Amino acid sequence: EVMLTRERYRVPRLPFSHLSDSDVAFFERIIPGRVITDPEELKPFNVDWLKSVQGCSKLMLKPQTTAEVSQLLRYCYERNLAVNPQGGNTGLVGGSVPVFDEIILSTFLMNQIISFDKVSGILVCQAGCILEKLNDYLEEQGFIMPLDLGAKGSCHIGGNVATNAGGLRLLRYGSLRGTVLGLEVVLADGSVLDCLTSLRKDNTGYDLKQLFIGSEGTLGVITAVSILCPQKPKAVNLAFLGCQNFNKVLETFTTCRAMLGEILSAYEFMDEKCMELVQSHLKLSNPVTGSPFYVLIETSGSNSAHDEEKLNNFLEQVMTSGLVTDGTVATDDKKIKTLWSLRERITEALTHDGYVYKYDVSLPVGKLYDLVTDMRAHLGQRAKNVVGYGHLGDGNLHLNITTESYSHSLLDAIEPFVYEWTARYKGSISAEHGLGFKKKQFIQYSKPTEAVFLMQCFKAMLDPKGILNPYKVLPSCS
């Protein structure tokens, strides 16, 4: 299946320079022993996690400091060599791997924690820190990261910020646009932009960091992050519930928000097809059987007795009113992790089901599941499975379609149907995955022409030669 995307979109290689021996020699002088040219060693970094797109980079650089990133980029800029910044390479839209022979600039070795202030809860660290490791470090100090996602064991915080990653805690702690307080970024020409402030309030001019949050490596390379971390909740409870239809999922959410208020930290849903897949492919067991929909509700608070009372009142209400037919509650860590894995590992289960076409959209919450139903009807027997799950509390649906193997005609049946449907209800064609390589040509379904033009102006101003993560995010100007 690999490389079909590049052929489909008929992307020509832009006139960047080709790598020479003298380039490699220069890089070796700057970062000796951290220049990778062995084709075998480069293979996994040329292919995305879904194995859906593949580049042919001949070189990977592994800087450890911002100064090194600066020197490397200055040289690439002068030589007109294209660069693909890469973190944990867990992206789902082909944004983190080369399209052609771009040099891979990996943040893998930039994994130092710079400081943590226990009074303010502000963490400053290098971009290559792994999300889960940061969370483990913070937990020892009584804090947590404000974001959590399925890829936490391998994704880097710099990549999270560059893609404005959403995930499982957004309902409670908001997006990275609010929790990231400062950034250090190296621009295309090697100049360092130090906006690594640790202030929650700073109204001095334009908020430049917002340009880089969600820019997917096209405007600058994030080298360090300052982020506001919440205190670790003393009490966490999880309810896993079964609902008979999607309307009941929605009503349960309304009731949940009203009754749980400030302790509600996650409201996730999945359909029964998702549950079948995690059971059959990953051998996970379902504690609540026989429901068309499942809901996972997490509460986090500072007083366990208070939280449990609230949760019990809520559960009594939804059970007696018939909104929920069955359910289980977890308070101990082990059971909580087991229940979360039913939701977090859906992506993994899908990859075992065949080739996966992935869509990540924001919609008015009442319309969320209609897209899945309409897509099933639209594709009929052509798809193996059409499933829907996601962050209902954020109006974010993950629509996934599986088949035995990749098919051009099936892709043509899905796209642009899925984008037209989303645009009709004023949704976003990418809620959290970004546009990357696979979705850049569809940006017009979510953004007006004037907005795209302005984005292109920012790109031209910050990266005049276009060397940073080319072929991604913005549509080709053809």
Q: What is the pLDDT of residues 340-380, one digit of tens each?
A: 999 999 999 999 999 999 999 999 999 999 999 999 999 99
Q: What is the pLDDT of residue 65?
A: 98
| Residue spans of beta strands (DSSP E) within 69-159 | 83-86, 103-106, 113-117, 122-126
Going by C-alpha positions, the residue among 19, 17, 16 that lies closest to residue 57 is 19
Q: What is the pLDDT of residue 4?
A: 55
DSSP symbol at 352: T
- The CA-CA-CA angle for residues 109, 115, 118, to 5°, reads 140
Q: What are the pLDDT digits (tens) for 179-189? A: 999 999 999 99
pLDDT-based confidence at 50, cuts 50/70/90?
Answer: confident
Residue 447's DSSP bridge partners are none
Q: How far apart are CA 263 and CA 108, in angstroms?
A: 36
Element at 26 (helix H, strand E): helix 21-30
Can you tell me the mean pLDDT for 445-462? 97
Q: What are the pLDDT digits (tens) for 299-348? A: 999 999 999 999 999 999 999 999 999 999 999 999 999 999 999 999 99
Q: What are the pLDDT digits (tens) for 198-225? A: 999 999 999 999 999 999 999 999 999 9
Q: What is the pLDDT of residue 1?
A: 44
Element at 179 (helix H, strand E): helix 176-179
What's the one-letter identity of residue 426?
K
Q: What are the pLDDT digits (tens) for 386-433? A: 999 999 999 999 999 999 999 999 999 999 999 999 999 999 999 999
Other CB atoms within a 10 A radius of the CB of residue 390 amount to 27
- Could you tell me the end-to-end alpha-carbon distance of the chain, in angstroms, rounded to an integer? 27
Please say if the pLDDT value at position 51 is more than 90.
no
Peptide bond into 416 cis (omega under 30): yes
pLDDT-based confidence at 6, cuts 50/70/90?
Answer: low
Please state, in angstroms and as integers, the Cα–Cα distance from residue 430 to each residue in 270, 272, 361, 366, 409, following that order. 19, 24, 5, 18, 22
pLDDT-based confidence at 478, cuts 50/70/90?
Answer: low
Please say if the pLDDT value at position 8 is more than 90.
no
Q: What is the pLDDT of residue 30?
A: 98
Q: Which residue has the tokens 């986090």?
A: 300
Q: What is the pLDDT of residue 476?
A: 81
Can you tell me the mean pLDDT for 256-275? 96
Task: Report the SS3 class of residue 16.
Answer: coil
Please say if the pLDDT value at position 444 is more than 80.
yes
Domains of the chain (ranges; CATH) run: 5-106 (3.30.43.10), 113-228 (3.30.465.10), 233-350 (3.30.70.2190), 354-467 (3.30.70.2740)
Of 3-7, 259-263, 361-365, 411-415, least confident by mean pLDDT is 3-7
- Mean pLDDT over each residue of the chain, to the nearest integer: 95
